[in-house]
Structure 1
Amino acid sequence: MKAAIIQEINQPVSIQEVEKPQAGAGEVVVKIKVAALNHRDVFVQQGLYPGMKLPVIIGSDGAGIVSEIGEGVSEEWLNKEVIINPSHNWGADARFYGKSFRILGMPENGTFAEYVKVAAEYLYAKPAHLSFEAAAAVPLVGLTAWRALMSRAGMKPGERVLITGIGGGAALFALQFAVAGGSEVWVTSGSDEKIEKAIALGAKGGVNYKDPNWAKNLIAATGGDRSGYFDVIIDSAGGPGFAKLIDVATAGGRICFFGGTTGNITDIIPAKVFFKQLNILGSTMGTEAEFAEMIRFVEEKQIQPILDETFTLDEAEIALRHMDNGTQFGKIVLKIG
């Protein structure tokens, strides 16, 4: 089969012919129709991910058709259209993953291939309202956004939510989940065009974080007083700008972050956190139960993932560079089967 493989750190991905995987006990082989990119794929390529193991077929997201089942797997899965939960071996404690936790696509071979082998417990029927392209866009960032917004931050209908850096896959899912969940959503971005696109998806408004007064402008836009502050803030950037999130959070608010693309968090004034009784929460991926909850919500609310651009498997390196540039609005996908 054909697959996209990372052989060495900081080298272009190579397209090679490799042996097709075989399903063992409790496993299935999925013929991948469409895979999707995540920043994780770029980080693996750059050697920035813990526990590096090369060579590896990258890719955490995929949708396809079950082509082979192993011993002990129900025959109902055979020839079924599925998506794959990439969050494996979370463990017994829902609060934090265990030592055996893995994300599909390193160290285990991932979805940037014509076939992938996974344990059957990580299969879910593809939501009927989604194309393979849309379905492939859901797993990793959908789960990340769901845990951050719903489990960790505990968003409730009617709350005011701020989502920073709109345009990436997880931020867009957080926007769609919060809007569908009945909250008032605002966004930040370095691009006015992305803010307008977010408003078209249901955001009430947004501000450009390149403006040094963005926090004051945001509060003014939302009401100009304490009623204009945010109950829930979802962030993936960290960095020096994180301190301003504390300024725009309401008393007792929850700030949940799952990334640090702009570096270490600095310049936080402790008194602003403890006098406002803020909850600052970290989040990564999610449990099997959270994945199932997220898929049910996507089906119930008929959520359509936002897609940016489609490439072929042979164009995987071009797609990775497009991801690395950070200009996308939505998920980048690879059409394979």
Structure 2
Amino acid sequence: MKAFVIESGELKVRDVEEPQAKAGEVVIALKTAGINRRDLGLPKRYGNRPDALIIGSDGAGVIEAIGDKVSGFSVGDEVIINPALRWYDNSDAPPAEFDILGMPDHGTFAEKIALSAEQVEKKPAHLTWEEAGSLALAGLTGYRALFTKGEVKEGVTLFIPGAGSGVATYLIQFAKNAGARVIVSSRSEEKREHALELGADRAISTDSDWPQELADETVDLVIDSVGAATFNRSLEVLKKGGRIVIFGATTDDNVDFNLRSFFYGQYQLFGSTMGSREELRAMLAHMEEHGTHPVVDRVFELEDAQEAFDHLGGGKQFGKVVLRIK
């Protein structure tokens, strides 16, 4: 079968052996797979190891084979993959055995995948294959950051620095579903317009003076994945006693901030990563209740995976970049 792999430090599409279902596993014939920013950093992390690793965390497809001791699924079922491995119940932090699909395990950028049936959920009927294949990682990350850590509710004002990421597109929709007011920032006028069309109440330029721009707003919650470039600026516009949730750092991982100002302001800082199966199921129910659809930016064929990586790496996307698998 065809797969997009890291091998000896290089990304390539090549033939690999088809997987077989062991006890407790299913084999899924994949139709689509979503690319995440995590995937872009895997070649550096994997290094020059000669063994080919199939990368990719998100995917959707049809169950083709079922191993022993699997119940609740049948051949032909349309399913999505939960990439948060071995994290079943909602908890303050993931368990020690938690990992993300796509390294060290073989991932979803392939025609087929074998994995534990515990990591599989039925595909929401209202979603296309392109939407379903790009759903789980970004959607689950946004859901946990917003509801579990951010405790969003009706009437809250949420600020999201960086409007174009896949997670941001879920945050906007989930927060509006919950009755929150949503403000986003982006350097791109086009992305700001897209965010407003998606439901954001206000969109400001990343290069503007945030305290001046938002002087008439009371920001209760910030959810940020940019990192050092926006952390202190976000604190400037967050109300005293407000909550800031961090789930990524696309700029510098290290941040300097004034501790005295922080504790006098009684700010609350939370870290968030992915989410549990319990939260994924809650997210799927939320999306079905509200008719929410993932935002798909562009779709590429598996054979053009490198082009898809380059597109995502260029930061021009609004929403998810997806691979279509024949």
Q: Which runs of 5+ in 1 are unaligned?
A: none
**Residues 71-80 or 140-149, more deviating:** 71-80
Q: Is the counterpart of residue 306 in structure 1 residue 304 in structure 2?
A: no
1:8 maps to which residue?
Answer: 8
Q: Deviations over 1:291-324 (max 9, x none)?
A: 1111111111111111111100000111111111
1:35 maps to which residue?
Answer: 33
Aligned residues of 1:53 and 1:107 also touching (Cα < 8 A): no
1:279 maps to which residue?
Answer: 268
1:184 maps to which residue?
Answer: 181
CA RMSD of aligned residues (A): 1.7
1:261 maps to which residue?
Answer: 250
* Matched ranges for 1:139-218 at <5 A: 139-211=136-208, 213-217=209-213
Q: How many Å apart are 1:6 and its aligned residue?
A: 0.6
Alpha-carbon spacing, 1:232–1:259, altered in 2? closer, same or farther (3 Å): same
1:295 maps to which residue?
Answer: 284
Alpha-carbon spacing, 1:186–1:105, altered in 2? closer, same or farther (3 Å): same
Alpha-carbon spacing, 1:23–1:180, altered in 2? closer, same or farther (3 Å): same
Alpha-carbon spacing, 1:335–1:93, altered in 2? closer, same or farther (3 Å): closer
Aligned residues of 2:80 and 2:133 also touching (Cα < 8 A): yes
Q: How many Å apart are 1:275 and its aligned residue?
A: 2.0
Aligned residues of 2:8 and 2:50 also touching (Cα < 8 A): no
Q: How many Å apart are 1:181 and its aligned residue?
A: 1.1
- State the alpha-carbon separation in 1 of the partners of residues 8 and 246 from structure 2: 30
Letter in 2 for 1:188: S
Aligned residues of 1:69 and 1:75 also touching (Cα < 8 A): no
Q: How many Å apart are 1:26 and its aligned residue?
A: 0.7
- State the alpha-carbon separation in 2 of the partners of residues 284 and 302 from structure 1: 25
Q: Is the counterpart of residue 65 in structure 1 residue 62 in structure 2?
A: yes
% identity of equivalent residues: 40
Q: How many Å apart are 1:122 and its aligned residue?
A: 1.3
- State the alpha-carbon separation in 2 of the partners of residues 257 and 267 from structure 1: 15
* Matched ranges for 1:120-131 at <5 A: 120-131=117-128
In the alignment of these two chains, the number of paired residues is 325
Aligned residues of 1:247 and 1:272 also touching (Cα < 8 A): no
- State the alpha-carbon separation in 1 of the partners of residues 7 and 248 from structure 2: 26
Q: Which runs of 5+ in 2 are unaligned?
A: none
Alpha-carbon spacing, 1:284–1:99, altered in 2? closer, same or farther (3 Å): same
TM-score (norm 2): 0.95
SS in 2 for 1:61: coil
Aligned residues of 1:91 and 1:101 also touching (Cα < 8 A): no
Q: How many Å apart are 1:260 and its aligned residue?
A: 1.0
Q: Is the counterpart of residue 247 in structure 1 residue 243 in structure 2?
A: no
2:222 maps to which residue?
Answer: 233
1:117 maps to which residue?
Answer: 114
- State the alpha-carbon separation in 1 of the partners of residues 203 and 303 from structure 2: 37
Q: How many Å apart are 1:46 and its aligned residue?
A: 2.7
- State the alpha-carbon separation in 2 of the partners of residues 75 and 159 from structure 1: 39
SS in 1 for 2:104: coil
Which of these residues, 35, 41, 45, is aligned with residue 47 of structure 1?
45
- State the alpha-carbon separation in 2 of the partners of residues 97 and 299 from structure 1: 26
Q: Deviations over 1:5-56 (max 9, x none)?
A: 11133x3x2111111100011100000001110001101023289xx99531
Q: Is the counterpart of residue 23 in structure 1 residue 21 in structure 2?
A: yes
Aligned structure 1 segments of 4 or more residues deviating by more than 3 angstroms: 264-267
- State the alpha-carbon separation in 1 of the partners of residues 130 and 102 from structure 2: 18
Letter in 2 for 1:139: A
Alpha-carbon spacing, 1:294–1:306, altered in 2? closer, same or farther (3 Å): same
- State the alpha-carbon separation in 1 of the partners of residues 163 and 46 from structure 2: 23
SS in 1 for 2:4: strand
Alpha-carbon spacing, 1:236–1:113, altered in 2? closer, same or farther (3 Å): same
Q: Deviations over 1:86-117 (max 9, x none)?
A: 00012777111222211111111111000011
Letter in 2 for 1:215: P
